[in-house]
Amino acid sequence: MTAKLPMVTVLVPAYNEALKINASLGEIYAYMEGLADRYAFELLVVDDGSTDETAEIVEKFAVGRPEVRLMRQPVNMRLGQALRDGFAAAEGDIIVVFDSDLSYSVDHIGRMLETMEQTQVAVVVASPYMRGGATSAIPWNRAQMSKQINRVLATASQYDVRTVTGMVRAYDANFIKGISLKSMGPEINTEILYKAQIMRVRVAEIPAHLDWSDQAERMAKRKVSLRVTTTSKLLVFASFLYRPIVFFMLPGLVLLVISLWSTASLFWTVTHEASEHVGGVDARLTQGFAHAWELRPQTFIIAGFTFLAAAQLISLGLLAAQAKRYFEELFYTATHHADR
């Protein structure tokens, strides 16, 4: 009796991809057919309310190919909703999310599947920013912004993953279907890794090549905003979710150092001024403080305000860490309860 092959869903979200979608689906389909001895597969396209002919092209491509399915959103609901709907509809044991523009070559699919099979992890990330990864033809400002955002997120995360924002990944279907996701935009990719961290599942990454060599003309014709600034702000905020204590404690500690330095400087000034007066200790200290105030009133203000601000930030950091811990425990408990 022949053993049942594992089922792979290749999930392709698409929005206004009429210029590229047919060729992309052709490459993905042919590649998956080449893996037919190891995997059964379906190719699931989620058209996110495209205003061009994307959906019609996918429908024509699906004719005679029962493995190909199309989901149509009535309006553009953004990447987060497209992925959530795709995850819910996927029938595979493994779900591979892949770009509709093939900015990653199709062989990344097989490499992610092999890594998942060998390591038994819940998530495999295609990572152009890890050692061995590469990028090509990405505008300099966008590339630098992406690298810096991922550096911040990677530092905040508990995973040794260099590309936290990337969409091209392979997921264990039970894991990705079992977590609650809320993000509406590209930040859903960061949210998934954050909740994987809460669920204590294992994550791996493979070196990947992100190539935009054929993107310039197509990007100029696409009727879609990249929302770079808004997405960047959301991704930076996502790093706060990973380790909120850092965002409060670090500036709090810096302000505390400034306050202590200013206080030490004032102590030296008061002591020096007091030593130049005669009388009792109280009288000399009073004179010392009075002269120090005349000489350096701004230092008193800086020391006081920085100390108060430091105390507030450090307190907020401790409260944020406690709230994060409560949330993670509740999320972990609720998700495991739902699985049962």
Q: Report the CATH number that the domain containing residue 129 is assigned in CATH.
A: 3.90.550.10
Distance of alpha carbon 144 from alpha carbon 172, whole angstroms: 31
Beta pairing partners, 161: none
- At 107, the amino acid letter reads D
Output the DSSP codes for 261-294. Answer: HHHHHHHHHHHHHHHTS-S-HHHHHHHHHHHHHH
- Do both 45 and 90 map to the same domain? yes
pLDDT of residue 335: 63
Angle at 143 between CA 183 and CA 79, to 5 degrees: 20
Q: pLDDT band for position 130 (50/70/90)?
A: very high
Over its C-alpha atoms, the chain yields an Rg (Å, rounded) of 28
125 and 165 in a common domain: yes
Q: How confident is the model at residue 72 (pLDDT cuts 50, 70, 90)?
A: very high
Mind listing the pLDDT tens digit for each residue in 6-35?
Answer: 999 999 999 999 999 999 999 999 999 999
**Which of 190, 211, 242 lies at the terminal end of a domain, its last residue?**
242
272 and 236 co-located in one domain: no
Q: Looking at the chain, which runs of residues are DSSP E strands? A: 7-14, 40-47, 68-72, 94-97, 123-127, 134-136, 169-172, 203-207, 209-211
pLDDT in tens, 271-323: 877 777 667 777 777 887 888 888 888 988 998 999 999 998 888 877 777 66
Domain check: are 225 and 279 in the same one? no
Domain range spanning residue 262?
245-339
Q: What gap in Å lies between CA 253 and CA 310, rounded to an integer?
A: 6
What was the pLDDT predicted at 223? 42
How many structural domains compose the chain?
Answer: 2
Residues 161 and 260 in one domain: no
Give the model's pLDDT for residue 266: 86
- Residues 153 and 225: their CA atoms lie apart, in Å, by 24
Residue 319 lies in a domain: yes
> Residue 203 pairs with which residues in a beta bridge?
123
Give the model's pLDDT for residue 183: 85
Least confident range of 46-50, 212-216, 302-306? 212-216
Question: Do residues 222 and 324 both lie within one domain?
Answer: no
Band the pLDDT of 219: cuts 50, 70, 90: low
Same domain, 184 and 250: no
Residue 1 maps to a domain: no
> At which of 242, 271, 303 does a domain end?
242
| Region class of 5: left (phi > 0), else alpha (psi between -120 and 50), else beta | beta
Q: Are residues 236 and 257 in the same domain?
A: no
| Residue 213, in any domain of the structure | yes
Out of 203, 218, 242, a domain closes at 242
Q: Answer yes or no: is 236 within a domain.
A: yes
